[in-house]
Amino acid sequence: MSTPERLIESTRALLWERGYIGTSPKAIQQHAGAGQGSMYHHFAGKPDLALAAIRRTAEEMRAAAEAVLGAPGSAYGRIEAYLLRERDVLRGCPVGRLTMDPDVIASDELRAPVTATLDWLRDRLAGILEEGRERGEFTSALDAREIASTVVATVQGGYVLARSAGSPAAFDAAVRGLLALLRCAAPHATTAIASHADTNE
């Protein structure tokens, strides 16, 4: 791994563990095994490096979500797969946790990739839910954007509950509850899913 890559990856790890204020240039250099000269040769300073790290984390979060949301299947099935995918629940969301960091939120530049990623996720989920509604998989009364916001809020809030309790059980309970509510909005899901599969064969 090149020096810039080591510096970015080290910053990502430290931001997740310690937050922006606890991620000092010295800690980054020690974690990356890089000298001060190397760090400032590649990056203008800590804010520049933090921005590169946050952008990388945001890109990875999008890619991980899209791998599930972009897969074939019904709208409900794709949302379910996203909610049930494997996560390190007790560590929390590396992007969502940045919203609790006052130094990140106070900086328009550092906050931008965080906001853009959460906005993208809500839009992506809303698009899938709207597809399902148009196919008759969900009731016509379903508001795709509101439910998409609920999905994101459940995941992010589930991390908080799990970390507070010291157990993933609270996250799992929140996800099960949301899926139960979503199934109530999909009374004809089985028929709609089967019809959609037939048309794609």
pLDDT at 41: 87
pLDDT at 1: 77
The span from the CA of 10 to the CA of 140, in Å, is 47
CATH code of the domain in which 153 resides = 1.10.357.10
138 domain residue, yes or no = yes
Contact, 14 vs 31, CB < 8 A?
yes
1 domain residue, yes or no = no
- DSSP assignment of 35-80, as one string? -HHHHHHH-SSHHHHHHHHHHHHHHHHHHHHHHHHTSSS-HHHHHH
Q: What is the number of structural domains in the chain?
A: 1
46 domain residue, yes or no = no
pLDDT at 40: 86
20 domain residue, yes or no = no
Handedness of CA 39, 41, 42, 45 (dihedral sign): positive
**Counting beta carbons within 10 angstroms of the beta carbon of residue 189, is it exposed (0 to 12), middle (13 to 18) or buried (19 or more)?**
buried
pLDDT at 195: 41
The span from the CA of 180 to the CA of 184, in Å, is 7
29 domain residue, yes or no = no
The span from the CA of 17 to the CA of 14, in Å, is 5
Q: What is the four-CA torsion angle of 44, 49, 55, 58, rounded to 10 degrees?
A: -170
pLDDT, tens digit only, all 201 positions of the chain: 799 999 999 999 999 888 899 999 999 999 999 988 888 889 988 999 999 999 999 999 999 999 999 999 999 999 999 999 999 999 999 999 999 999 999 999 999 999 999 999 999 999 999 999 999 999 999 999 999 999 999 999 999 999 999 999 999 999 999 999 999 988 755 433 334 334 333
118 domain residue, yes or no = yes
30 domain residue, yes or no = no
The span from the CA of 133 to the CA of 185, in Å, is 9
pLDDT at 37: 87
Calculate helix-pair angle for 144-165, 108-134, nearest 10 degrees: 120
pLDDT at 194: 39
- DSSP assignment of 89-107, as one string? GGG--TTGGGGG-HHHHT-
10 domain residue, yes or no = no
The range of the structural domain enclosing residue 111 comes to 57-200
